[in-house]
Structure 1
Amino acid sequence: MKNVYIETYGCALNKADTFIMETLLEKEGYKFVEKPEDADIIILNTCVVRLETEERMKQRIKELNKFSSNKKFIVAGCMSSAEPATVLSIAPNASLVGPQAVERILEVIKSSERKIILDGDKASVTPRLFEGKIAIIPLADGCAGNCSFCITKLARRKLRSYPLREIVESAKYAVLNGAKEIELTGQDTAAYGLDLGGTIRLPDVVSKVAEIDGDFMIRIGMMTPEQAMRILDDLIEVLKNPKVYKFIHLPVQSGDDRVLKLMNRKYTVDEYRQIVTEIRNKIPFVNITTDIIIGHPGEDEEAFNNTILLMKELRFERVHLAMYSIRPNTKSASLPQIPDSIKKKRMHIANKVYEDVAYSVHNEYVGTISRVITTELGRKGSVIGRTINYIPVVIKNENAQLGKWYNVKITEASFYDLRGVLV
């Protein structure tokens, strides 16, 4: 049977797509190898969310295409769907598989000719493979929005929710095989079920997964504020479940209403503030993580300062900051652009504010004892665990094992994580 090499870039959803492809391939008897030179088939699962990422993908396609004279080369992921002409200009003989066509990977591999399949039918296959103690399970791909800056919408064009039964079976399999964290992922997890008539929603899925027997935690993936508002009461209730991390990834993108309108985001800053306040009132230790784009077209000094003020006011535990970069075929690309020098200056200011706020939040944990579940290996023999509100804790103890609960005394804090010792 043929050997397959898969290389993956991008978000958790992209990683889940790779696990879906691997699940299908393993079932057919394909073997996975660690080096492209040892493979008969090479699959590159791409990301194209930012300009620098796209440049990295172009370089990697060029490097792996050197093997295409005697190996089958498949470019999968968002770049294959959002920019197929660019991919084929670098690798003319490559087959393309869009992120919403991963279930058809066997069709592409078995074909004697080059295949280009960018769209699929209903999402139906969830992964039966995972790495370490964390299982990534997609709830849905695509979203219900149409943000002006987003190229992912061009790659994952329609919302496709996975069947509840498939999600639960995938989670059961993962828990039975040692997973301690079930990461329920999607472009917008709160949009789950809109394409299925709206009878089953995100809280229903989380509740069903939480009913699975076993010692594990559930991490709910990113959601948009407008969809979170729609299910807020039930979302808060499900966050109270002991098996669910007290964690919400809720991208605000800007602290200015005018910029949010230019971004085509469907909420106001005040509505976002109300969501955060409501969640925090009901779940005091909740970790609110957000995304912010710095330098989007239309962001003047007042708008930027409004974003900084919101960061300070809401004291996010983590902020994924990104400097705006033009994405082809998006509406924001056609707007007047802010000079790079200004964007870089603002990024520096925003990073400093984020680090100061996050350090202040984390420093409150120093001297306390936290209940932590270990899920990853760290550097120099350390183990990384997560608090119930999903803050990473580095445990410098060779006796700490993966997949265990420990009481950890927090001895140090940084803006990024906590450090501690076993009690």
Structure 2
Amino acid sequence: MRIYFETYGCALNKGDTYSMMTLLKGRNHEIVNSEEQADVLVINTCAVRMETEEKMKKRILELSKTGKKLVVAGCLAGAEPGLVMSLAPQSSLIGPQSIGDVVKAVESRERIVSLHGELPSVLPSVFEGLISVIPIADGCAGSCNFCITKLARKELRSYPPRMIVETARKAIEKGAKEIELTGQDTAAYGLDLGRDIRLADLVGEVSSLEGDFMVRVGMMTPELAMRQLDDLLDAWDNPKVYKFFHLPVQSGNDQVLRAMNRKYTLDEFREIVREIRKRFPLVNITTDIIVGHPGEDENAFEDTLNLMKELRFERIHIAMYSLRPNTRSAMMTQVPGPIKKERLKRAVTLYEELSREIHREYVGRKMKVLVLENGKDNTKIGRTLNYIPVIVKDADLGKWYEAEITDSSFFDLRGSIV
């Protein structure tokens, strides 16, 4: 059959889609680029925020009206299956921890509902462009009070290291120049395997493969990164590993962190950042911040702004707290909507100011850049060794260049090939 995929949400969702595509291609099904071409429609959903859920609901309704077989996969299917069933009663449901059942859902004449199954037997052999996204684990070891994803991905399940390394090796042989190791919390990798292998060991094995490529590691929680920081720093010392760490701090106030059920203090987070920057002075530390979580008063919000100024993160994903059903944070006293919106505006304004300052410091430098993607107006997008995007012209995909940084914005750098 001809199958069309739509994917929303995080890099792990994207990796799950590639795994489902790989399974279906192994059964001789064809992946097509539009719903008009398809016999079966698969939407891999996200449920992390309320506005995202509204977008998913609208799209599920639209796809259900096509009259074609519909499979709803991903976190909305896993966290709120009753909602999905009410929107599209004839659709099959595949939770994010049962994506291996996508073949059954596509091929069966009956409606399939599978919310928790086995890990898929394969990792993605499908990738787009030069970037191969490889899930290393599903689920996490935490229990954040604001998180609905925990309801969809209930338990931590790490993929075997040999499976991951072999998938990366095959991707490199097919031309991948970036191996993105992703998970809900990459620092949790291996905790469930009952053996002495952790994220640092896995990164070491992947980065030791032959070939011209770089390894990028996805988000890790501070509390688990802290437990293995020395080993992680040793693994990141490999020249094939981007000097990039995604460590979500979420708030600059310890009381709010406790309300969120985060398992670290601000002093511990500061120490992690200090140690990373001491080892890698030109490092990219990216973080996430939630504005307006229950328990955040004006002083707590000011603490968050002050932390942004103090630690000067390379990139910040700022989101206004979104009440999610069946989570502990939803049962707490809420910050009024207008206050949340006003704080979000102030936080984003500060972030843009800080980011422009940080990026201006790169102007005039010569930096090594790996060109990975096509940009707008015949430009290309490269990445520095600390994973900052650089817009260049007259460059070929998949090649390294030395670029002189000529200009900057809050989002990226502009360079000319030397």
* Shorter-chain TM-score tier: over 0.9
1:335 aligns with 2:332: yes
Q: Are 2:404 and 2:417, in contact at CA under 8 Å, matched by a contact in 1?
A: yes
1:359 aligns with 2:356: yes
Pick from 386, 401, 404: which aligns with 1:406?
Answer: 401
Rounded to whole Å, the distance in 2 between the matches of 1:141 and 1:389 is 26
Rounded to whole Å, the distance in 2 between the matches of 1:335 and 1:414 is 39
Alignment-derived partner of residue 43 in structure 2: 44
Q: Are 1:123 and 1:162, in contact at CA under 8 Å, matched by a contact in 2?
A: no
Rounded to whole Å, the distance in 2 between the matches of 1:93 and 1:22 is 22
Q: Deviations over 1:48-78 (max 9, x none)?
A: 100110000000000000123xx22100000
The residue type equivalent to 2:102 in the other structure is: I
Aligned pairs for 1:107-186 (under 5 A) are 107-122=104-119, 124-186=121-183
Shift of 1:122: 4.1
Shift of 1:37: 2.3
Rounded to whole Å, the distance in 2 between the matches of 1:82 and 1:164 is 28
Alignment-derived partner of residue 29 in structure 1: 28
The residue type equivalent to 1:4 in the other structure is: I
When structure 1 is superposed on structure 2, of 236-245 and 194-203 the one drifting more is 194-203
Alignment-derived partner of residue 259 in structure 1: 256
Rounded to whole Å, the distance in 2 between the matches of 1:135 and 1:100 is 21
Alignment-derived partner of residue 374 in structure 1: 371
Rounded to whole Å, the distance in 2 between the matches of 1:374 and 1:236 is 25
Q: CA RMSD in A?
A: 0.8
Q: Are 2:2 and 2:30, in contact at CA under 8 Å, matched by a contact in 1?
A: yes
Alignment-derived partner of residue 18 in structure 1: 17
The residue type equivalent to 1:115 in the other structure is: I
Alignment-derived partner of residue 200 in structure 1: 197
Q: Are 1:123 and 1:160, in contact at CA under 8 Å, matched by a contact in 2?
A: no
Shift of 1:415: 1.2
Shift of 1:111: 1.5
Alignment-derived partner of residue 87 in structure 1: 84
The residue type equivalent to 1:388 in the other structure is: L
Rounded to whole Å, the distance in 2 between the matches of 1:35 and 1:359 is 38
Q: Give the TM-score normalised by the residue count of structure 1.
A: 0.98
Pick from 220, 226, 235: which aligns with 1:229?
Answer: 226
Q: Which runs of 5+ in 2 are unaligned?
A: none
Q: Deviations over 1:232-281 (max 9, x none)?
A: 00000111100000000000000000000000000001100000001111
Q: Are 2:19 and 2:120, in contact at CA under 8 Å, matched by a contact in 1?
A: no
Q: Which runs of 5+ in 1 are unaligned?
A: none
Q: Are 1:289 and 1:318, in contact at CA under 8 Å, matched by a contact in 2?
A: yes
Rounded to whole Å, the distance in 1 between the matches of 2:293 and 2:138 is 25
Q: Give the TM-score normalised by the residue count of structure 2.
A: 0.99
Identity between Structure 1 and Structure 2 (%): 60
The residue type equivalent to 2:408 in the other structure is: A
Does the residue aligned with 1:194 lie in a helix, a strand or coil?
coil
Shift of 1:182: 0.4
Does the residue aligned with 1:196 lie in a helix, a strand or coil?
coil
1:284 aligns with 2:275: no
Q: Deviations over 1:129-162 (max 9, x none)?
A: 1000100001101000000000000010000100
Q: Are 2:252 and 2:301, in contact at CA under 8 Å, matched by a contact in 1?
A: yes
Alignment-derived partner of residue 9 in structure 1: 8
Rounded to whole Å, the distance in 1 between the matches of 2:42 and 2:214 is 31
Q: Deviations over 1:324-360 (max 9, x none)?
A: 0100100000111111111111111111111111111
Q: Deviations over 1:80-133 (max 9, x none)?
A: 010101111110010000011111111122211101001112454211110001
The residue type equivalent to 2:21 in the other structure is: E
Alignment-derived partner of residue 419 in structure 1: 414
1:293 aligns with 2:293: no
Rounded to whole Å, the distance in 2 between the matches of 1:346 and 1:123 is 42
The residue type equivalent to 1:189 in the other structure is: T
Rounded to whole Å, the distance in 1 between the matches of 2:103 and 2:32 is 17
Does the residue aligned with 1:137 lie in a helix, a strand or coil?
strand
Runs of 4+ more than 3 Å apart: none
Pick from 284, 303, 307: which aligns with 2:304?
Answer: 307
Rounded to whole Å, the distance in 2 between the matches of 1:95 and 1:272 is 43
Rounded to whole Å, the distance in 1 between the matches of 2:48 and 2:267 is 28
Q: Are 1:123 and 1:161, in contact at CA under 8 Å, matched by a contact in 2?
A: no
When structure 1 is superposed on structure 2, of 116-125 and 323-332 the one drifting more is 116-125
Aligned length: 418
Shift of 1:205: 0.5
Q: Are 1:100 and 1:156, in contact at CA under 8 Å, matched by a contact in 2?
A: yes
